[in-house]
Structure 1
Amino acid sequence: MKNEQVCLCGEEAKEFKEILKKEVKFNITPIKLFHENIGWFCELDDLKINKWPISKNDGVYLLWEKIDYCPQHKLFISEALYVGKGNIKKRIYDHAKNKGFTEENLVYFSFLDIPNRSAKYIEQLLLDLYKFPLNKAENNGQAVLYSYLTQTEVDFGTL
């Protein structure tokens, strides 16, 4: 790990989890949102070649970038780049087409297929808590959102 940082593996989105528990009764956790439906792309062709079974329904999704590795827990540290909602497959494909990602920019995505009303809440809560480099509107959060991915999640996704 860079600069002998304190290991925080397993402490994913503590604030997010606490607020969700207090404010809503739907069963969404950081683990579900960050780990249940993972895929990756560098460009649009990767999505087509891998044929990820991405939901065509409404939901919430995140784009991630791998930034470091924790040898103690054998986990890859990923930083959230973007949070969005809407038709999941269309939105992820739009990002791959329009954001100019390249092979140097391997982008991971995770998503939850949930009703639009719930997706709006989750998206806004994340924007209020965390700073996403690729979100422009309503991005008032200050903390950085991390996820910790296993070798299998990094290599093969969870779709």
Structure 2
Amino acid sequence: VQANKVGRRVRLSNMCGREFLRGLTGMPGAAAAAVTSSVNSSSDPVIEPPALVFGEFQHVLMNLPASGIEFLDSFVGAFDRRSWQGALPRVHCYCFSKAADARADVIARAEEMLGCKLPDAEAHIVRDVAPSKLMLCVSFVLPSAIAWKDVDEGSVVKRMRTNDAAHPPPL
């Protein structure tokens, strides 16, 4: 950031991706603003970072191909109509596939995680990473039915809790 002189245009974070997204989208009570980190031990003072305030964004890049698709359910009900006024973002999710029809496979997996069809979804091959294994990028505009969805109790919430338990946030 310093070497490239982009400090005014870049914000760095290291927190749970699900909580980070909730903070970016303006969800009330988002835990992203309450994430704390301890300097040396539990007896040291706790530093609370400021709330995430970035404004609206047009693109989301999910560049962890081994697990990116598993985080797509984070978008279900993630946007607050009261604070989000612009168009919903275009999501670009990198992922791997070993399927014969890799493009159809990653689009189907993205639809499964979101629980809806993605009529404008496109997938392109990024590179061949191993015999019979491709890295792809699936891109789509986040459907409003997903972004604004009321999430109480249901399969998506249960899946999110299961994923969070399997992948705890970094310490």
TM over 0.5: no
Question: What TM-score does the superposition give when structure 1 sets the normalisation length?
Answer: 0.23
Question: What TM-score does the superposition give when structure 2 sets the normalisation length?
Answer: 0.22
- Give the structure with the higher percent helix: 1
- Bigger Rg over Cα: 2
Between 1 and 2, higher relative CO (CA 8 Å, sep ≥ 6) is seen in 1
